[in-house]
Amino acid sequence: FTSFLHLPGTSEEVAPPVQQCFMVPKKEINVVSDMAKWKRSQAYADYMGFILTLNEGVRGKKLTCEYKVSEPIEKLVALLNTLDRWIDETPPVDQPSRFGNKAFRTWYAKLDQEAEKLVSAVIPKHLADAAPEVAVYLKESVGNSTRIDYGTGHEAAFAAFLCCLCKIGVLRVDDQMAIVFKVFNRYLEVMRKLQKTYRMEPAGSQGVWGLDDFQFLPFIWGSSQLIDHPSLEPRHFVDEKVVNENHKDFMFLECILFITEMKTGPFAEHSNQLWNISAVPSWSKVNQGLIRMYKAECLEKFPVIQHFKFGSLLPIQPVTS
């Protein structure tokens, strides 16, 4: 669980192994039966450990609370700001079809070209060899340029990107809150802008039966933020007034706000799963349920995981410990 984030309370930093051989990550899950390999892999254990470590790290905390912001965090925000600026510089083109604006391909080509350079600016010189490996996850995290779609597999690639930065020691255990509140939250803003600007299709959407067309993790971490809140209960998030007054403090409500901006009609109809979740009595129950649902609906679904890439930092090899 804390294999890559050194244990809090120990003064020694865990130095990354000196002879680390980095490699460009590649696909390993090619047929449905390969899913068993994924579930036993070190990558799965580390990825899930990372998600759960952050889930604990933000528990009961507001987006607006005070937390440490290290230099690597600042650099990651700057990287995301660059991606945001490129959207402004690449306006959508006139085209007959409403969805999947082709300008996204132009925007993506720029990222494809610059990703390694962007990542190199975040990591220290002595880890320069890691840039090509880590950059792959960044490129995978913004959507598919052929289909012009975006979904939870792309979101998972961004979490994997951050996980890799933890594994090489760029991000530390005391960066936890900033990883979610500053970096991941900025990532969400940029993804929402991409989704809106280029009218991206949801990737592998389950329509009204999915939790959300595009994201999943902010619902997990966002529900953790709300655990033991003195007044906000799950039933309140379908109340427009509550959302408008509190969305700046809580990721979960920020997600709800975005859905209501993008969709028309009764909430219970366009977001049935979330509507059902609003009936759950406590945020800790919501949080536990969402973690189970994430494993079942995202991490254990072949159409999502077949695109995941494995390298030296997130290896396909079975768990050793």
Check residue 193 and give its pLDDT.
Answer: 98
Structure tokens at 7: 């244990």
| pTM as predicted | 0.94
202 membership: H or E segment, kind and range: strand 201-202
Enter the tokens of residue 113.
């070209």
CA separation for the pair 317, 156 (Å, rounded)? 19
Q: How far apart are CA 57 and CA 230, in angstroms?
A: 19
Contact 157, 137 (CB under 8 A): yes
Domain 207-296 is of which CATH architecture? Up-down Bundle (1.20)
| 194, containing H or E segment | helix 185-197
| C-alpha dihedral sign at 23, 163, 36, 148 | negative
Residue 187 · residue 126 · CB < 8 Å? no
Q: Token pair for residue 190?
A: 């940029």
CA nearest to 201, candidates 212, 215, 214, 216: 214
pLDDT-flagged residues of the chain (< 50): 1-4, 6-14
Distance CA(41)–CA(314), nearest Å, equals 9
- From residue 11, give the alpha-carbon distance in Å to each of 6, 72, 173, 291: 9, 20, 12, 31
Retrieve residue 232's tokens.
């906000």
Report the SS3 class of residue 223. Answer: helix
Contact in structure between 267 and 238 (CB atoms under 8 Å): yes
Euclidean distance between CA atoms 308 and 292, whole angstroms: 20
Q: Which residues are bridge partners to 150 per DSSP?
A: 202
Q: Token pair 């299709």 is at which residue?
A: 201
User: Which residues sit opposite 68 in a β-bridge?
Assistant: none
Q: Tell which residue, 197, 216, 179, has the closest CA to residue 80.
A: 179
- Cα→Cα distances 54→57, 159, 224, 234, 271, Å: 5, 11, 10, 21, 26
Given this model, what pLDDT does residue 2 score? 47
* Contact criterion met (CB below 8 Å) for 76 and 183: yes
Token pair, residue 91, equals 């306006």
Q: Which tokens go with 301?
A: 């679904």
Beta strands 26-27 and 149-150, pairing class: unpaired
Residue 1: predicted pLDDT: 38
pLDDT at 6: 45
Where along the chain do the CATH 1.20.120.1150 domains lie?
207-296
Count of CB atoms situated within 10 Å of the CB of 315: 17
